[in-house]
Every structure is written in C-alpha cells, then in structure tokens.
Amino acid sequence: MENQKVVQLPSRAELFYKHVLQTLHRANLPFLIGGSLAMAFYMHLPRRPKDLDIFVRREDCQSILEALSSRGYRTEVLHGHWLSKAWQDDLFVDFIFSSGNGLAKVDDSWFAQSQKARFLSVPVRVCSPEDIIWSKAFIMDRERFDGADIAHLIRDAGTAFDWNQLLERFGEHWRLLLTHLLLFEYIYPTERIVPRWLMDELLERARQDRDPERDFDRLCQGTLLSRDQYLSDIELYGYTDGRVEPNGKMTEQEVNEYTTFIRDEQARKLEEHSLEQDKSNHDEQVA
C-alpha cells in the first residue's frame, strides 16, 4: 500500500494514524484497512484519504477501543449496530463492524479473503475488492452514492475478482449486484470485464423473478440503500422496513435510534446552513 497511489497525508494525521495502527498491531488485535486507502491499493487513481476506515469484527471492537483509550485517545460507540470512533482532537478513525443498514457484517471470511500490505510502515491487511463492493453497493443516499467507486474498482481490478465469491456475498440481494454490473457496462461500453456467465445468470434470475404468479409482501428495501429517503414509505405508506428482522438484520430499537440520530444530524446541518446564510446576508448589507 505504500506507493504513489496514496496522496501524501498531512503530517499530524499521518502521526495519528500510524500510532493507532501500531497500537493495534502490537496488541495483536485483528483489523482490516478499508475506505479510500483500500481503494488506492487496488486502483490506478490516486486517493486523498479524508479519514481512516478500519474494519473489525464486532466482538473485537471493545478490545480495540480499550487499547486506544489506554493510550489517551477518546473513543465512543457512535452506533451500536455498526460504527465506533477514536478521536485525537479533530482527527478520528472509524471502526466499522457492519454497514449502516446492518447487512454487511464483518466476519472471519473478510479476513480470509483480505490481502497483506504495509501502510505507514505498519503491516496491515486490506479488505478484498469483493468485500469493498459488498459494503459500498448499498450506499445510495442523496448526499453520497458509491456507484462510481464500484465502477472504478471493477475497471481496475475486476480481471482478478473471485466473481463466484462476489455473487455468493450478495445472496438474496443479487438484484443490487446486477444493477451495479449493468451500470458498469453502461459507463464503460467497450470494457469486457464482467464474465458473460455471471450476467447471463443474473439476467435469467431477473426474467424468472418477474413471474406474475409470485405473491409479494408489502416490503420496502429502499431503507437498505438510503438512510432517510424512504422513511416516508415506512411511516406514511405502511410499508414494512427492509432493515428490520426478519427481513433485515436490525432490531426495531436499532432502527429507531439510528433514525433519531439521522434526523438530529439533519436538523443540526439545517441550523448551521441557516446561520451561515444569515451571516452572509449580514455581510452583504454591511458591505
């Protein structure tokens, strides 16, 4: 990973990240590098990391936070179903043990499929490209869509993919995999990277799945793709939330807590925007 594809980090962030990684490595705590750094490992495009994403098993997360707390870092469990953080002033590291929708849980197979690398002179393991796609495929929010990352990753590393493993990873969510593969072939119509057998299988599944005799439940899986854009379907139109057990992996309590956090965050951002607008208007009047 120590190559020209990763843009130089600010010195303060570099020291922070290096110390965090050294702490985990010396304590023999298992972790995987994900996010921008993992993308840079597999792609030809340079990436400027804005933070450090570390993927861990949920059962290891508490030990990791305790190890970092003992070194003076502030730690917190931000969302009990998927995310914790470690802070040094305004710098932070994300410890991710699932996805925001509860589906992409980090387990032993993530480590078995990972690759060895070095970052900031520390031995690390990097999430496999298949697991990167699995974790990014569901991110389709208004303010963030990771489809371009997936397309670039297929373009740059797809010839070495374990496509059978990727298909298995998506399981019952194979329609989402088909969506991203079709989007890839639309973006890059001259690239022939996705295996024909995989497209044929997924398209045949889609054809058979349109059987008019099939009885569908009133289910909305849009909540698996966006944190807030489909909440109205659940709250106003009576759809079943695709995140909640038994259809999904989250409990009602986890969904309620996450939704409350999202709305509080949106209200805060709206208030900040309003204050900035008021200040801008005031400055214009003074000028």
Q: Left if phi > 0, otherwise alpha if psi is -120 to 50, otherwise beta: which for 120?
A: left
| Residue 126 · residue 32 · CB < 8 Å | yes
pLDDT one-digit tens code per residue, 195-233: 999 999 999 999 998 765 555 578 999 999 999 999 999
Amino acid at 76: E
**Three-state SS at 226:** coil
Quick one: CATH architecture of 1-127? 2-Layer Sandwich (3.30)
pLDDT one-digit tens code per residue, 146-197: 999 999 999 999 999 999 999 999 999 999 999 999 999 999 999 999 999 9
pLDDT one-digit tens code per residue, 89-141: 999 999 999 999 999 999 999 999 999 999 989 999 999 999 999 999 999 99
The whole-angstrom separation of Cα 85 and Cα 253 is 21
Q: What is the pTM of this model?
A: 0.88
Tokens standing for 12?
Answer: 């303060």
**Three-state SS at 223:** helix
Give the residue extent of every domain in the chain.
Answer: 1-127, 130-214, 219-286
What burial letters (b/e) apply to 6-23, b meaning 16+ CB within 10 Å?
A: beebeeebeebbebbbeb
